[in-house]
């Protein structure tokens, strides 16, 4: 097909990043119409595929409009020359269609889809179609194994030459900052735990978002090996390591769809564990109203599936079904959660956070043979309460380029604040994960790190009229107002009196 040269014009766009804008006359010259596919090449010879949009005015003739993300992939700036060539859809698009119709995909078909995601041959629309097919058609165990291996093998692999331990959560519960407690406990026990984490998909803060408040989280594989070989632990963003790059691409379409399909979730987690050579893993499955998994039997089914698939991949897995009916701890949002994690390491954190963190850490310590079965939590508590975990966390923060001397009360939060108070005496009978998530995201979290929500009371606590029950923090007044407007609509906290009804005498 014909190839032409164009001058790049960088567009200040982030959504729809797989769109390239052509002047109508250039589109006619190339023989393309809106939604046709083109390959663009700049200094990066791999190039990138994009779908065509057409304009009469946004770009001039012989210009091509490129969203920032595409321009960065191609390493081009305004005015650089790029070549453009019409291309047909790759064969993997047919396999996406097959999955949408409920067909079981084979190894080569799934590898083809993943390779085309990594090679930028699939558009965001096509990746979204595949993710939606996973959501509604599901995958059997064979498909899951092939998908997991394909995601792992198309990215960087890191060999630590020692047994590797890991902890992961399926997410879905706001405020789940336990990784920042568990990693230093395990590292302080002398075990290797190179924790790679994702940024938030559906929550107000992922582990990488929270850790980024304390230290940089983007490193190369060689840099991660150096950090972990020195101090046993790290908490970094997996996307910066080129571990399972296909998964990070899928996350970009899961985020606006607000979904996390079970097959993609399992493949995502296990592929990243394969990539860093994980031998032993504890998986946290929060369960309850408002969590991803609401029924205990569903949690057990998912846990058994992880254990079975993990075993076939050479990863020993223990699953902890944990209470997920309300936020973990009291803080929701990157800075607020980082502050609460440090408070816990300093010895002043909430009991629920200590309980969950030490229970999961204890399971890993038992798997490592550091203590007998049933005694792991006690050992984890001792490491936490002795200050060894705090000392190790300071080492991790310093190794990743942060300030090791930072204290919890030095972490800044949003300058704009609104307190919500109780309108009556009573007891907290319900805290809605869904509502807390929506309100915290409305503040700007996780993108605006100092934004979020702080809960004063949780289920079962007594409250008096006028007592603060919730604080909203934001970096911008407009975001604070948006979040505050959701409170009355969503009712994140339910307060009821003990007397439900009076039945009068005759």
Whether 334 and 396 share a structural domain: yes
Domain check: are 329 and 384 in the same one? yes
Whether residue 207 is contained in a domain is answered as yes
Kindly state whether residue 472 falls inside one of the protein's structural domains: yes
Are both 252 and 197 inside the same structural domain?
Answer: yes
Which has the closest alpha carbon to 267: 317, 306, 307? 306
Q: Are residues 239 and 384 in the same domain?
A: yes
- pLDDT tens for the 506 residues of the chain, in order: 578 999 999 998 876 668 899 999 999 999 999 999 999 998 777 788 889 999 999 999 999 999 988 888 889 999 999 999 999 999 999 999 999 999 999 999 999 999 999 988 898 889 999 999 999 999 999 999 999 999 999 999 999 989 999 999 998 889 889 999 999 999 999 999 999 987 776 789 999 999 999 999 999 999 999 999 999 999 999 877 888 889 888 988 887 888 889 999 999 999 999 999 999 999 999 999 888 899 999 999 999 999 999 999 999 999 999 999 999 999 999 999 999 999 999 999 999 999 999 999 999 999 999 999 999 999 999 999 999 999 999 999 999 999 999 999 999 999 999 999 998 899 999 999 999 999 999 999 999 999 999 999 999 899 999 999 999 999 999 999 999 999 989 999 999 875 555 667 65
Among the three residues 86, 114, 148, which one is the final residue of a domain in this structure?
Answer: 86
CA 268 to chain centre: 10
Residue 9 has, within 13 A of its CA and on its CB side, a CA count of: 14
Output the domain CATH number for residue 464: 3.90.1170.30
Catalytic residue among 36, 248, 260, 471: 260
Residue listed under structure tokens 């200590």:
354
Cα Dmax for the chain: 92
Q: Identify the CATH number of the domain in which residue 315 sits.
A: 3.40.1030.10
Task: Tell me how far the alpha carbon of residue 356 is from its chain's centroid.
Answer: 20
Q: Has residue 441 been placed in a domain? A: yes
Check whether residue 232 and residue 378 sit in a common domain. Answer: yes
Residue 431 — φ and ψ, nearest 5°? -125, 120
Residue 164 is classified by DSSP as: B
Q: Which residues pair with 193 in a beta bridge?
A: 233
Q: What single string gives the DSSP state of each residue in 71-116? A: HHHHT--TT-EEEEEE-PPPTHHHHHHHHHTTPPP-HHHHHHHHHH
CB atoms inside a 10 Å sphere around CB 257: 14
> Do the beta carbons of residue 112 and residue 91 sit within 8 Å?
yes
What is the number of domains present in the chain? 4
Identify the domain containing residue 191 by its residue range: 165-408
Q: Is residue 145 part of a domain?
A: no
The answer to whether residue 143 is domain-embedded is no
> Tokens in use for 231?
């101090």
275 and 372 housed in the same domain = yes
In a domain, 234, yes or no: yes
CATH of the domain at 114: 1.20.970.10
For residue 68, the domain's CATH number is 2.40.40.20
- 280 plus 395 within the same structural domain: yes
Residue 15: what pLDDT? 66
Residues 303 and 436 in one domain: no
- Pair (327, 428) in one structural domain: no
Asked whether residue 429 is assigned to any structural domain, the reply reads: yes
Place of tokens 């970094």: 236
- Residue 494's nearest CA partner among 468, 446, 459 is 459
Please state the φ and ψ torsions of residue 329, each to the nearest 5 degrees: 70, -150
Residues 392 and 424 in one domain: no
Last residue of a domain, one of 86, 106, 123: 86
Q: Is residue 159 part of a domain?
A: no
Decide which of 86, 101, 122 is a domain's last residue: 86
How far apart (Å, rounded) are the C-alpha atoms in residues 195 and 166? 6
Same domain, 56 and 131: no
Closest CA to 134 of 123, 147, 122: 147
Asked if 229 and 353 sit in the same domain, the reply is yes
260 is catalytic: yes
- Long-range pairs of 176-179 with CB within 8 A, sequence gap ≥ 24: 176/203, 176/284, 176/286, 176/327, 176/328, 177/205, 177/207, 177/210, 177/328, 177/329, 177/331, 177/337, 177/338, 177/340, 177/341, 177/353, 178/284, 178/328, 178/353, 178/356, 178/357, 178/360, 179/207, 179/235
């Amino acid at each position: 097909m014909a190839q032409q040269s164009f001058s790049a014009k960088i567009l200040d766009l982030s959504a729809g990043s797989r769109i390239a804008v052509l002047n109508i006359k250039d589109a006619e010259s190339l023989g393309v119409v809106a939604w046709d596919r083109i390959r663009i090449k700049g200094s990066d010879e791999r190039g990138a595929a994009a779908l065509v949009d057409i304009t009469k005015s946004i770009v001039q003739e012989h210009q091509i409009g490129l969203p920032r993300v595409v321009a960065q992939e191609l390493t081009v700036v305004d005015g650089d020359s790029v070549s453009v060539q019409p291309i047909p859809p790759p064969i993997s698009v047919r396999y996406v269609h097959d999955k949408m119709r409920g067909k079981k995909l084979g190894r080569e078909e799934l590898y083809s889809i993943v390779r085309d995601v990594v090679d930028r041959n699939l558009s965001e629309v096509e990746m979204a179609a595949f993710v939606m097919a996973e959501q509604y058609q599901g995958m059997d165990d064979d498909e899951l194994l092939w998908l997991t291996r394909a995601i792992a093998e198309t990215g960087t692999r890191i060999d630590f030459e020692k047994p590797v331990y890991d902890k992961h959560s399926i997410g879905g519960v706001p405020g789940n900052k336990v990784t920042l407690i568990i990693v230093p406990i395990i590292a302080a026990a002398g075990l290797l735990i190179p924790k790679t984490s994702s940024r938030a998909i559906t929550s107000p803060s992922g582990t990488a978002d929270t850790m980024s408040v304390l230290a940089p989280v983007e490193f190369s594989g060689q840099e991660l090996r150096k950090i972990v070989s020195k101090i046993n632990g790290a908490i970094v963003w997996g996307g910066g390591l080129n571990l399972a790059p296909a998964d990070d691409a899928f996350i970009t379409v899961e985020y606006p769809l607000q979904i996390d399909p079970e097959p993609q979730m399992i493949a995502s987690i296990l592929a990243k564990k394969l990539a860093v050579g994980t031998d032993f893993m504890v998986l946290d499955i929060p369960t309850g109203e408002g969590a991803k998994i609401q029924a205990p039997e569903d949690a057990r089914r998912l846990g058994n599936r992880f254990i079975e698939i993990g075993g076939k991949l050479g990863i020993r897995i223990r699953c902890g079904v944990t209470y997920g009916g309300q936020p973990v701890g009291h803080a929701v949002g990157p800075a607020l959660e980082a502050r609460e994690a440090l408070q816990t390491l300093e010895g002043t954190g909430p009991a629920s956070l200590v309980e969950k963190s030490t229970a999961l850490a204890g399971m890993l310590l038992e798997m490592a043979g550091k203590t007998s079965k049933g005694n792991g939590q006690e050992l984890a508590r001792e490491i936490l309460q002795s200050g060894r975990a705090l000392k190790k966390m300071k080492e991790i923060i310093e190794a990743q380029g942060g300030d090791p001397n930072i204290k919890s009360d030095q972490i800044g939060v949003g300058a704009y604040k609104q307190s919500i108070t109780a309108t009556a005496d009573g007891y907290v009978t319900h805290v809605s994960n869904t509502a807390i998530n929506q309100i915290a995201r409305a503040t700007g979290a996780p993108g605006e790190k100092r934004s979020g929500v702080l809960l004063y009371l949780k289920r079962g606590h007594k409250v008096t009229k006028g007592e603060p029950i919730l604080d909203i923090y934001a970096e911008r007044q407009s975001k604070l107002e948006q979040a505050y407007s959701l409170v009355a609509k969503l009712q994140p906290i339910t307060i009821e009196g003990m007397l439900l009804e009076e039945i009068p005498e005759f």
